[in-house]
Structure 1
């Protein structure tokens, strides 16, 4: 039985997953103690903070610790493990400073861009795309490789940071995305087995630290991941996907993370449009994100998180179906029907109403209108 387990294609991810989960879960109390000592605590306010009690926000340090230790112990076959550990350490430390001092938005953008530049400097870039329908046909990005990679890394950080607005959403969604990346890498095993094994190991470690953190972060959360956590996750997901794309000349490789992260990417795009229409800066925080909309419909924070999990699973199944896992498309179809029926029934039962709401309602809205009175213990808003 042990031999059969070790021969499973997902086995390289198992031990990193377990170790990262355990280390993260054990390290969270230390991060909470540190947050209280340095004043990195979120306090409720009437506008955007929709939790009830002061909550420490340095959970990202514990997540990084779990991820890094898992790679250090079980990542001997991952050629780029120390590069990945270095860049995730840098962004975690930099954004931990933000969790304490609350840096200006444009300073944060410089740090986010710096993380992308660091990844490129370490030699991890999206250099080319290949086309599944035309074997041997490759699009070389040339001089565009570096800026494309930096934009991808910045986009991942911003998207996941904006996603971190309700307890358990960001860590749960990234855990699911990590699982999707893991399955996609397994599907690519064969002549590129060594390459995809690195993605499998890192995806397992990333999924593990998310699960370990969820123990403390499910509503009502006892700790927030903070900007240190959301940016750590953004850089980790971005780097893992770049590694998968950079060494496999198939353009479909980028489709998996794009579809799986469809919710945070779409929410980010709408946030930019909404803030531009409102005449505020695109980096100005508000409470008009998708998770606030779901709370306003009458969903509880846990139900909102579950809605995100199911939607991400559906998008991930679609991505895997395109990538070769055809059977999961049926799962996606069933989940989609279940989610739609459940949301409609829940909204009607609690008096929520989407009918008659024009598009401008979703693009231009005040903070108070976006957050329902029953939205409590929901996490951070950005």
Structure 2
């Protein structure tokens, strides 16, 4: 528990102190956000706001995780050694953050809201996903558990749906690209993605901690959580949640800095990695329901327009539809935060009810 509190505190402090420094540096370098020409008119004033603030989130998350382990080692309260699961989830998040950083940097250099083309971004996500998919099935512990399994999971592995490796790898790519794009689509209003991500990550702190507390030796086998490193995954999630809250101090409306694709892809990868290593891929769809709705709104808008030449929404992603309908930006943000909180609470309720049903 101490590890989790340390990770969250360090993540928060590093993020809240580092972000204003990045604002000054990026402003001097001219690293300003470019705005979509077809976007809401109220967003035009945001042009030039420093972007790539996701750098602060990534640094704070990594710092929180390793400082927590260092303090544990120095105080002798544990081995202090990072786990395979924790390191792999961090790798996934940071690697996707690098892809997002390249996308942001190209946008800045070209001074338009188009960075990496779709093919280049997809290739970047594919390479990261394949490496993660291969590594996440390695490193078994003393019980033979690897960081992730080839079975589809809800709260536990669904043994009837076990994927061969040749199918598991593309499945990982779908999950990782889906979540990273979903968070990326949501990052369109000041603080929207950061606030929602903080809630989802806090939910995963609770889930991972609960999984670590439930011992298979004291419960019926059906109630066991076969997760390799649940407590360490809680540390990762706590460090990232703290980093998001610290960044939100500067990113909340009116934003002084945007996270950019650097932050949104990193956070999406983090959610994807946590869902696979905690064996909750299907439950994550509920917990991150806001991100899912935002992504579905984009897919539906494109599908309907290409089929009928009509728009399903005034504008996609979904949050812009309400802006164009006359809602104030802060109203959209707060109501969407509330929707995210409801999804997280509902997801926790499903998680706990499944445990009760399993005999816990």
- TM-score of the superposition, structure 2-length normalised? 0.76
Partner of 1:113: 126
Corresponding pairs, count: 304
CA distance in 2, matches of 1:141, 1:317: 30
**How much does 1:217 deviate?**
0.5
Q: Is the 8 A contact 1:42 1:56 kept in 2?
A: yes
Contact preservation (8 Å) 2:83, 2:232: yes
Look up the match of 1:292: 320
Task: Compute the displacement of 1:195 (Å).
Answer: 2.5
Query: What is the SS of the residue equivalent to 2:90?
Result: helix
Once the two structures are superposed, what CA deviation does each residue of 1:241-300 show, in whole Å capped at 9, x if it has no partner?
Answer: 21111xxxxxxx3333110112221221221221233239xxxxx942221122234332
1:79 corresponds to which residue?
83
Deviation string 1:121-142 (CA, Å, 9 cap, x unpaired) is 3225441246889x99553212
Q: Do the aligned partners of residues 36 and 186 (structure 1) sit closer, same or farther apart at CA in structure 2, a change above 3 Å counting?
A: same
> Structure 1 residue 29 and structure 2 residue 63: aligned?
no
1:140 counterpart = 2:131: no
Q: 1:24, CA displacement in angstroms? A: 1.1
Q: Within 5 Å, which residues of 2 pair with 1:331-342?
A: none
Aligned alpha-carbon RMSD (Å): 2.7
Any idea what SS the aligned residue of 1:55 has?
Answer: coil
Deviation at 1:31, TM superposition (A): 2.6
Shift of 1:194: 6.7
Contact 1:61 1:228 in 2 (8 A): yes
CA shift, 1:22, in A, is 0.8
Quick check: 2:92–2:273 contact (8 Å CA) kept in 1? no
Cα pair distance change 1:30/1:275, threshold 3 Å: same
**Does the 8 A contact of 2:90 with 2:236 survive in 1?**
no
Change (3 A) 1:43 1:269: closer
TM-score, L = length of structure 1: 0.72
Matched, 1:52 2:57: no
CA contact (8 A) 1:38 1:100 kept: no
Describe the shift of the 1:167–1:126 C-alpha distance in structure 2 as closer, same or farther (beyond 3 A). farther
- Judged with a 3 Å threshold, the aligned counterparts in structure 2 of structure 1 residues 201 and 169 are, in CA distance, closer, same or farther, namely same
| Residue of structure 1 equivalent to 2:9 | 18
8 Å Cα contact 2:154/2:283 also seen in 1: no
CA distance, structure 2, for counterparts of residue 154 and residue 291 of structure 1? 21
Q: Is contact 1:78–1:197 with CA below 8 Å preserved after alignment? A: no
Counterparts in 2 of 1:131 and 1:303: CA distance versus 1, 3 Å:
closer
> How far apart are residue 212 of structure 1 and its match?
0.7
For 1:282-339, what per-residue CA distance to the aligned partner results, in whole angstroms no more than 9, with x for missing partners? xxxx94222112223433222211111111111111111111169xxxxxxxxxxxxx
Secondary structure at the counterpart of residue 139 of structure 1: strand
Is the Cα contact below 8 Å between 1:44 and 1:52 reproduced in 2?
A: no
Distance 1:136 1:267, change over 3 A: closer
User: Are 1:211 and 2:245 matched, yes or no?
Assistant: yes
**Shift of residue 26 of structure 1?**
1.5
Question: Unmatched 5+ residue regions in structure 2?
Answer: 70-79, 107-114, 138-147, 216-224, 308-313, 355-360
Q: CA deviation at 1:206?
A: 1.2
My pick for the range that moved more, 236-245 or 165-174, is 236-245
Q: CA separation of 1:136/1:304 partners in 2, compared to 1, >3 Å: closer, same or farther?
A: closer
- Could you tell me how far apart the structure 2 residues matched to 1:13 and 1:42 are? 34
Cα distance change on mapping 1:131 and 1:178 into 2, 3 Å = closer
1:262 counterpart (278, 289, 293): 289
Partner of 1:61: 55
Matched, 1:89 2:117: no
1:223 lines up with 2:216 in the alignment: no
**For the structure 1 residues 194 and 14, does the alpha-carbon distance in structure 2 shift closer, same or farther, using more than 3 Å as the test?**
farther
Tell me, yes or no, if the aligned pair for 1:77 and 1:198 is still in contact at 8 Å: no
